[in-house]
Structure 1
């Protein structure tokens, strides 16, 4: 069933043409991602689909009665309302029924109103919908429904907008970077929610795992043309590469034909037959195809890194808290040369605070942070570039000098540097405030890197960057010889560039995990389930029941039962560390044999301890 048909739309701002004559359609149950470089007009297309903007030419035809919900990157709400008011400020019939029911619950004396509201919940089967929308609010950590909009952070507002879009249950959900401002747990929940739901989606996102696991269609705007791929991200990559190769073959053939036709054109006398004129007319088309070329300039990031000494950074019993909220509790760590560390954790666990203490913009409550004399930080913050009114792109770079030093004693002009960062001559003289969000982020990244840091700190660097720029940034970071510390919710990005993780678990606890994000998720999912002996104060019978269960284990068995989980976890880490050693292709055969024996011993030990844990668990639960 066709929901939306986009016919030959075009959009320009002054002399800047974003796109022209684009046509595509959205069908029921499609989960479509729209992929294009920053500055190509992705957000403008979403605004046109949602009705917040209109094309300069062409039209958007929608099915009668179609309900569309739009999640923008910068949602706007009434600051005088609460979360609860905002959620119910909707034309959804089911939400109105639930709102009336909840109001009736607050006034138990009015039995007639309560009975009427209860019956409406039954008639419209709103009970399941009520449960669903409360689960959405809970997953997005919007628990205080009485909180005023005016007191909410930018991240909370984005989550509220997402909740509102999901709860409105539209026919088509249009999303602009839905995973921005979500922590990893929320992203994975949203991923599963969309994968299982019947939503029709049209989205712009840079999250490549999200593209892989949610989308069944990808539309790419590439050099002014649209290409549709009926599959997920892996399918898109494979078929895009095949398309580009085919285009190169066709261009090569066109060049050969062009040379042949050019020779014929030069040999022709002035008087030409009708047949000759037809061939002449075709010549211009052949010439155009022969001179086609892809403008795929890559961001060339080459910096003159200051040498990093043996002492980098040391944390000695560092503690930090804000009132009752503990961020670090006697944290100890010594950074080494060339380390590549990712930082993950739920929002509010102190990741940005940790970075601020490392860079000396915030002081710890106790303990010491010692930095090496040669350390030069490059700190890419979530705040982004400071946009000055009337400042042009070229002026931003010239603040660092007309010429910027590169490696091996070379230098480059500000203009040439911007070209390497995909800002052509015309774009360099645009005002910074007119750049798209992704282009501003790319410019900001440029200003951080040209200061030649040897310790690079990136706080959510992937937000708003297009996939092309992300791939190039990843290639640069893989070759970056200094220290790297990254906070990111982009799982694909983290998997590719970090070697181990700081997992901020809250209450001052930071786990140093030896692996990337996917390794960590696999490890977490493989852990034996925790058995918690929780005692509820007001449940005497439950308390006695737990006591009786515990009594079925002897004292030594109880002690063994409590220690087994941590031992299994430790052995799993030892196992992973050993397995990583096998990646060294230079290992001699005797060393391989020795490692194999150690690995087999650990595997046997894990299996034995897991069996023992299950034995004690069954005895405890019986």
Structure 2
């Protein structure tokens, strides 16, 4: 089924268009990621598609049976109503069906009861309560009777997400779901659950996200807004990067060719006498077309920058027996750690466990209850907090950066001016004279990050740096941090970002316990799944195994038998076959003509396959460690 078509959409604020003459289509079952730099029109395009804004030019067609739902970065609520009243609102179709059923039962009218029962079946209203409870539990929404106007920013986002999922989960009509950065303010477990939920639900999706693992797990097509145009890429993020690089290379070759032609045509134009009327009109028109193409610029968003940071001495930061609690809640319990030069540590754990508190204690912004914190004399902290910029409305971007320093010294000598540094962080010259108050949320985050790095810290503390940053800016930041020689401590729910940058993790496990895990996030999750699987297969009757010394244990681990080798080989084939079968069934589920019986059978089988895959993958990991 065809959901939506757009032809020749154009939208401008001022002289430069956000997008110009773009066309696209969305069909049922499509799952599309929309990416671009902050401030080039992603959110505006979503608002145009939902009818909340109008385009300057172009046509938009939406199928009459399609409902468009938008999850926004700044959700709108009835502020004086409670969380529950906002999520389970009177206009919700299933709530209306349930009320009709309750009224019919009170009247004891057989015809009304039969009609109400049929509506309950058609809308899956019997499962309504269970599904809502699951959504609330997974998104940690528990303050049902609290008024929305008293919620924190993160709580508001989770409530808005719960409301969106409840609305689309029980909507009779075809729904086009548009989501603008849904993973912001979610912890990793919530993000992984949301991935699973969106894959299980038969939903058509247009998604704006900076989370590359989430993008790959949910979407199979990428749209990019760049230089006022839209480019479409089929496949995952890695394929997008490869295809984009090839496109830019091709465009650059075309521009180089146009430059050569432009030089020849310019010489021809200059030689023509002004009074001559026989000059070729078509050649003149062609000249201006060639000139426009030759003067195009393709911005390379890759950052190659080595900072001349303050030298770190032998002593960095020492934490000794740190305790911190709020009332009866233990946040940190007897934590010891000595930081070394060049360490890259990720901090993970559920929201509210104290990750930001630890960062504040290290910087002595917040005191510990007991314990000692020793900071080396040469340590210069760079703190990227969640609070954001202190906005000064009367300052322009370039003026704000120069208030910290006029230039940025480089490791190999020389320096970059404030304007050059701004360009590296994707603020072109025309943007540098914009007032701070006019920047988008993502641009303010980028400027906050830039001003911290501009001061040359040697110990970076980054608290959720990826929230509201676009993918091009993330690439800039990752490239900078990859070559950064100082210490880095990162709190982030962006798994791709963490995997690329950190060497080990501080894992907040609850009750004030912090575990030091030697590896990145993906390695931690694999280890976590192995531990969970081992708990499942452990017999209730505990049998004490004979104690082995390290040498015997190592020897027995190496001596894997023929049976296990054969099992390992068969598992690889079985896992591959199951993944192919699952993919085939998921593709068949996208067919709008599929019967109810086939739909039920396929859904049940996909669940069985997912369970089998988890078991077999865990066994494969166990055997692989012994090979």
Q: TM-score, normalised by structure 2?
A: 0.80
The match for 1:359 is 363
Secondary structure at 2:33's aligned position in 1?
strand
Paired with 1:208 and 1:529, the residues of 2 have a C-alpha distance of 27
| Alignment size in residue pairs | 553
Secondary structure at 1:5's aligned position in 2?
strand
Paired with 1:215 and 1:390, the residues of 2 have a C-alpha distance of 41
Q: Are the counterparts in 1 of residues 303 and 479 from structure 2 also a CA contact under 8 Å?
A: no
Secondary structure at 2:488's aligned position in 1?
strand
Secondary structure at 2:66's aligned position in 1?
coil
Unaligned stretches of 5+ residues in structure 1: 534-548, 572-593, 609-613, 615-622
Q: Are the counterparts in 2 of residues 378 and 455 from structure 1 also a CA contact under 8 Å?
A: yes
Secondary structure at 1:429's aligned position in 2?
coil
Deviation (angstroms), 1:261: 4.7
Task: Summarize deviations over 1:61-109 as a string: whole Å, max 9, x none.
Answer: 21114211111111122232222111111533213334677x99xxx9x
For 1:37-52, list aligned pairs within 5 A: 37-52=37-52
For 1:605-616, list aligned pairs within 5 A: none
Deviates more, 1:430-439 or 1:390-399: 390-399
Paired with 1:158 and 1:506, the residues of 2 have a C-alpha distance of 23
CA 1:271/1:398 → structure 2, altered by over 3 Å: closer, same or farther? closer
Paired with 2:519 and 2:454, the residues of 1 have a C-alpha distance of 30
The match for 1:545 is none
CA 1:52/1:90 → structure 2, altered by over 3 Å: closer, same or farther? farther
Secondary structure at 2:432's aligned position in 1?
helix
The match for 1:289 is 293
The match for 1:251 is 255
Deviation (angstroms), 1:600: 6.5
Paired with 1:100 and 1:31, the residues of 2 have a C-alpha distance of 35
For 1:447-596, list aligned pairs within 5 A: 447-527=451-531, 529=533, 531=535, 557=543, 560=545
Deviation (angstroms), 1:404: 4.6
Q: TM-score, normalised by structure 1?
A: 0.81
Secondary structure at 1:168's aligned position in 2?
helix
1:416 aligns with 2:417: no
Unaligned stretches of 5+ residues in structure 2: 565-618, 620-627
Deviation (angstroms), 1:468: 1.0
CA 1:4/1:453 → structure 2, altered by over 3 Å: closer, same or farther? same
Q: 1:444 aligns with which of 439, 442, 448?
A: 448
CA 1:212/1:377 → structure 2, altered by over 3 Å: closer, same or farther? same
Paired with 1:56 and 1:599, the residues of 2 have a C-alpha distance of 70
The match for 1:429 is 433
Task: Summarize deviations over 1:218-240 as a string: whole Å, max 9, x none.
Answer: 11112121111122222212211
Secondary structure at 1:427's aligned position in 2?
coil
Deviation (angstroms), 1:504: 0.8
The match for 1:179 is 183
Paired with 1:528 and 1:365, the residues of 2 have a C-alpha distance of 34
Paired with 1:314 and 1:6, the residues of 2 have a C-alpha distance of 58
Paired with 2:149 and 2:85, the residues of 1 have a C-alpha distance of 13
The match for 1:19 is 19
Paired with 1:314 and 1:304, the residues of 2 have a C-alpha distance of 24
The match for 2:130 is 131
Paired with 1:14 and 1:256, the residues of 2 have a C-alpha distance of 33
Deviation (angstroms), 1:135: 1.4
Paired with 1:33 and 1:487, the residues of 2 have a C-alpha distance of 25
CA 1:255/1:279 → structure 2, altered by over 3 Å: closer, same or farther? same
Q: Are the counterparts in 2 of residues 38 and 466 from structure 1 also a CA contact under 8 Å?
A: yes
Paired with 2:268 and 2:386, the residues of 1 have a C-alpha distance of 60
Deviation (angstroms), 1:496: 0.4
For 1:307-386, list aligned pairs within 5 A: 307-386=311-390
The match for 2:82 is 82
